Amino acid sequence: MDSFVANGEFRSRSELMREALREFLRSRALAGAMIPGDADTVEISVRIRRDELETFAAYGELVANGAQPPEVAAQLLRRGALELKVAELVAGARQSVHRSAEERQQLKGLRATGAELTRRGIVGR
């Protein structure tokens, strides 16, 4: 754990432990939600308003060849993910987080260099 903190990947051991716990719970939830026989499909629970359920049911009956509300919701979710470019937004956010971590590491190095120069008396006090 200390090497992750020392390398600047995490600010503290606590932050590392929180992230590890989040990842563990996420993977456990996904493992428990896998549908037998279909390795690519995961079932999730979503809360929607009653009027939304009625709309999804009507959409399924009138537009989606009799699809039931859960399948209608899945179809609309996939369509929304494509149209909103969710994968691209996530990739951009991940890059931003990675850049921020690199910049924090660089700043940490600059601070250490500045402190060392001051200690040597090269830079005034």
Two tokens, residue 19: 């992230």
> Lowest mean pLDDT: which of 11-15, 98-102, 105-109?
11-15
pLDDT band at 107 (very low <50, low <70, confident <90, very high): very high
For residue range 78-94, list pLDDT tens digits in order: 888 888 888 888 888 99
Residue 38 phi/psi, 5° resolution?
-135, 95
Q: What is the pTM of this model?
A: 0.46
Cα-based distances in Å from 101 to 24, 98, 109, 114: 22, 5, 12, 20
Taking only the tens place, the pLDDT of each residue in 21-79 is: 888 777 766 665 555 556 677 778 888 899 999 999 999 999 888 999 999 899 888 88
